[in-house]
Structure 1
Amino acid sequence: MNTLASLSTLLLQFAFFYPLTMAWMWMIGAVHYYWRFERQTVGVQIPPILDHYPGVSLIVPMHNEGENARETIAQLMCQRYPLFEVIAVNDGSKDDTGAILDDLAEQYPRLRVIHLATNQGKAMGLNTAALMAKYEFLICIDGDALLDEYAAAWFMQHFVHGPRLGAITGNPRIRNRSTLLGKLQVGEFSSIIGMIKRAQRTYGRIFTISGVVGAFRRAALHDVGYWSPEMLTEDIDISWKLQIAHWDIRYEPKACCWILMPETLKGLWKQRLRWAMGGVQVLIKYLPSLLFWRKRRMWAIYAEFLLSVAWAYIMGGVTLLWFLGLFMPLPQPLYIQTILPGWNGVVIGVTCLMQIGVALRLDSQYDEGMGKSYYWMVWYPLAYWLLNMLTTIWAVPKTLMRKRNSRAVWVSPDRGIQQTAQTPHPPAHEHYVGTKS
């Protein structure tokens, strides 16, 4: 009984201290990143002039994006960069995406369109475009995203000075924020996702390049075999493939991309479940590779994700024991009196307020509307941990039961109820004009 009591106490302490510890690690790492890499460019809108401007291929895989294709392509044509092309991949769309892209190709000489007869999946669309691209450097975005006009220039600041740099993750910003879920996700992408990327860059390895906006060196992609068609989250997988092969990944917060996110609970659940399943796939796929000393720099990020899975199951178990204790007698070590916050809730609440405050300070230069969402952002970390717990618990068995090597094809996501957007304005002229900052 004493052993059971000790184990129960240990698990309860882990359930409390794990999210608290990670919040502080994210804050410390993010502040360090800001101080070392970001503060020098605060207020700088135009990237510094480069000695030379390598060509860039902007790649957009699309599936049933008829409602967004014109806006996305038009915004890509506004890049202030001297040498670029745009490749749009129509991946077996059943709507008018293909016809719209063909019409746009006549309007924009820089645009090339690739048509795939059937739904092959995002990874295959990216692979096809990468192999047909004219240039060594690729910037990949989603079919409903609006890329900031200076994004290519900010990405290339890194590539021209980093020969071992394989990829850069950009800074996705939420466009649709007219509903509660939209406002909550504004907080998530700042206080959690953006903060985590800064912290992970500080600590050495990044868990994932944002699938909605990332830049790649084609030589690095060729070295690791490009994107994997069987992975549910090709962005997580390519991030691990590159880093295990000793290619570096960086984060560029000034490379903003305005995106649409789910604004229904069903759509959000499906998206986050897919993300969780993709993470579990990575845990399983890359464990054998990490058993070697040469891969030790990936150990910390692997352990952190493994601990997050363990936390989800422990927290789920705590909740289940509390619920069972309402209706039946349980051994004293297993009895959970309440899951409502006590003193520990105050500690987590104060930490949450600090986390939101740090996030607002870091991201306010990229998103002027964040202050309006502050009230909702305060509540999101709690919602984030709850959503993370539930999706992870379901993702593990669902991933294990999934047929191995089956193709991950497109499933059109929830793109929001209303598209009220912080949309970038097109530049006054077509080409990038650099001025020293």
Structure 2
Amino acid sequence: MNGGILHALLEFAFYYPLVMSLIWMSGGIIYFLRWERREPSRVRPRPLPDYPMVTLVVPCHNEGAQVRETIAHLASQQYPNFEIIAINDGSTDDTGAQLDQLMDQYPALRVIHMSSNQGKAMGLRAAALASRADFLVCGDGDALLDDYATHWMMMHMLESPRVAAVTGNPRIRNRSTLLGKLQVGEFSSIIGLIKRAQRVYGRIFTVSGVIACFRKSALHDVGYWNTDMVTEDIDVSWRLQMRHWEIRYEPNALCWILMPETVRGLWKQRLRWAQGGSEVLLRYTTRLFKWRQRRMWPVAFEYVMSLLWSYTMSVIILLWVLGCFMPLPPSLYVDTLLPQWHGVVLGAICLLQFLISLLVDRRYETRIGRNYYWMIWYPLVYWLLNTATSVVALPKAIMKRRGTRAIWVSPDRGLR
């Protein structure tokens, strides 16, 4: 019986990433053929029938080193009707002073100062209430928005009144280390491909917090951002879609971001992402059982399966470690973690996925191929990292007291 359980664990550990890779690749190819190839990339987009006012929102907490560059890119948007609202959320550096100085340079800029650290969700709420526009483009204090990003996302907003949000295409700026190079491939072959596939198959797990456009009436319908969720972007994405609003992905809406390039910084970031996903799943599971929420079932099911896979891998690794130091029954003995034929198959599929994403994403980044050969390390580094963070995050999400304010913690910005 125990042998059958171990065999089932090993089979699940193999087939889950295999099946999901095939789903993501097929969905990404369908998305490209159906929508993406029709639009020329990195050139001036087609004119819009109307240009309603848009508020560009940038919450800032201790962003003194980046904020001038961020505001400059917002001000250079090739969209004729916008304002900028920056929220200085209890910064302890010179962020607030720099923003006040920038108001003289950029007439479209307004600044909201908060006396203490209230968290990104509260900052976004304050900006939404102060906004004079019906649409918000939200980013981060270290993100550089492409000149036509607002234009690309507003195309979707004007196409259908049911579109509540459009998520853009984050690109990695800092690539000085192996972790930085791996994240270039990850955002292309994993995150970008997943968003394309989810757009094809029905629902998107989350908008990107660093670049997303929102319809303010849709945000009002769901009560704006919750201030007690670790990842406000995942939470608002689920609530919008559970209210039957639509979220779309626009790969031409580019945004250049800084990411952690240390193991410690990466661990903290991915642990927060994993905890945010678990919090959302725990909070809305009971509502998902309703037939009206059936379009959210694939997204929720995939996330549950990813959690089960992480715990399955943890059990397999634990059995292998125990087997190295103490005798175990043959039915529980894992002789090696080194790749056998299963590992060769997964490695080949993984590289095929990276190749497909590279062919698609070279439209947005012509020299992305130079990062391809680094991706052979991706399964070793990131699968282990995501397994560990998922295992740790679920208990943290379960034990977190509801209503606890999620406040800013300055992240690792990597090496520039």
In the alignment, structure 1 residue 315 sits paired with structure 2 residue 294? no
Aligned-partner Cα distance in 2 for 1:261–1:368 = 21
In the other structure, the counterpart of 2:4 is 6
Deviation by residue 1:40-99 (Cα, 9 ceiling, x = unmatched): 114461111111111110000000000111000011110001100000000000000000
Q: Which residue of 2 aligns with 1:80?
A: 78
> Within 1, Cα distance between the matches of 2:303 and 2:284?
13
- Which residue does the alignment assign to 2:52? 54
Residue number in structure 2 paired with 1:426: none
Q: For residue 165 of structure 1, what is the aligned residue in structure 2?
A: 163
Using the alignment, how far apart are the partners of 1:121 and 1:217 within structure 2? 21
- In structure 1, the partner of 2:221 is 223
2:114 paired with 1:116: yes
8 Å Cα contact 1:188-1:381 kept in structure 2: no
- Matched residue, 1:434: none
Residue 324 of structure 1 pairs with residue 322 of structure 2: yes
- The answer on whether the counterparts of 1:356 and 1:378 sit within 8 Å (CA) in structure 2 is no
Alpha carbons 1:79, 1:152 under 8 Å: kept? yes
- Partner of 2:83, secondary structure, is strand
CA deviation profile, 1:312-334 (whole Å, cap 9, x unmatched): 00100000001101111112211
**Corresponding residue for residue 22 of structure 1:** 20
Q: What is the match of residue 409 of structure 2?
A: 411
Q: In the aligned structure 1, how far is the partner of 2:365 from the partner of 2:319? A: 42
Residue aligning to 1:351: 349
3-state SS in 1 of match to 2:248: strand
Post-superposition Cα deviations, 1:84-134, rounded to whole Å, max 9, x if no partner, equal 000000000000000000000111110000001100000000000011101
Q: Read off the aligned partner of 1:62 and give its amino acid letter.
A: C
Structure 2, unmatched stretches of 5+, are none
Native 8 Å contact 1:155 1:215 kept in 2: yes
Q: CA deviation at 1:370?
A: 1.1
The question of whether the paired residues in 2 share the 8 Å contact of 1:312 and 1:390 is answered with yes
Residue 208 of structure 2 is aligned to residue 210 of structure 1: yes
Residue in 2 aligned with 1:275? 273
Equivalent residue for 2:126, pick from 125, 128, 131 = 128
Output the amino acid matched with 2:204: I
Distance 1:249 1:88 in 2: 25
8 Å contact kept, 1:25–1:199: yes
Q: Deviations over 1:385-429 (max 9, x none)?
A: 211101001111122222221000000000012x2xxxxxxxxxx
Task: Name the SS for the 1:112 alignment partner.
Answer: strand
Out of 363, 369, 372, which is 2:370 matched to? 372
Q: Distance in 2 between matches of 1:180 and 1:163?
A: 43
Select which of 243, 254, 257 maps to 2:255: 257
Q: Which one-letter code corresponds to 1:375 in the other structure?
A: Y
CA contact (8 A) 1:138 1:218 kept: yes
Residue in 1 that maps onto 2:384: 386
Mapped to 2, the partners of 1:399 and 1:51 lie a distance apart of: 45
**Residues 1:71 and 2:69 are matched in the alignment:** yes
1:246 aligns with 2:244: yes
SS of 1:236's partner is: helix
CA distance in 2, matches of 1:18, 1:51: 45
Aligned equivalents of 2:146, 2:379: Cα separation in 1: 28
- CA distance in 2 between partners of 1:376 and 1:187 (Å): 8
Q: For the Cα contact (< 8 Å) 1:176–1:416, is it kept in 2? A: yes
Residue-by-residue CA offset, 1:240-285 (whole Å, 9 max, x unaligned): 0100000000000000000000011100000000000001101100
TM-score with structure 2 setting the length: 0.99
Is the 2:170–2:187 contact (alpha carbons within 8 Å) kept by the matching residues of 1?
yes
- SS at structure 2 position matched to 1:170: strand
Q: Aligned letter for 1:177? A: R
> Which secondary structure state, in structure 2, belongs to the residue aligned with residue 185 of structure 1?
helix
Cα separation, 2, equivalents of 1:331 and 1:146: 56
Q: Percent identity?
A: 60
Q: Once the 2 structures are TM-superposed, how far is the Cα of residue 368 of structure 1 from its aligned partner?
A: 2.4
Distance 2:409 2:225 in 1: 18
State the Cα RMSD in Å. Answer: 0.9
Report the 3-state secondary structure (helix = DSSP H, G, I; strand = E; otherwise coil) of the residue aligned with 1:326.
helix
SS at match of 2:350: helix
* Structure 1: gaps spanning 5 or more residues: 420-437
The answer on whether the counterparts of 1:89 and 1:113 sit within 8 Å (CA) in structure 2 is yes
Pairs aligned (count): 416
In structure 1, what is the equivalent of residue 283 of structure 2?
285
**Cα distance in 2, alignment partners of residues 317 and 407 from structure 1:** 34
Work out the CA distance in 2 between the residues paired with 1:410 and 1:44.
34
Q: Which digits, 9 at most, give the CA deviation of each residue in 1:146-170, with x for residues without a partner?
A: 0000011101111111110000110
| Correspondence for 2:99 | 101
- Residue of structure 1 in register with 2:302 after alignment: 304
Task: Give 1:154's aligned residue.
Answer: 152
Offset at 1:345? Answer: 1.2
Aligned partners of 2:181, 2:258: CA distance in 1, in Å?
12
CA distance in 2, matches of 1:43, 1:167: 21
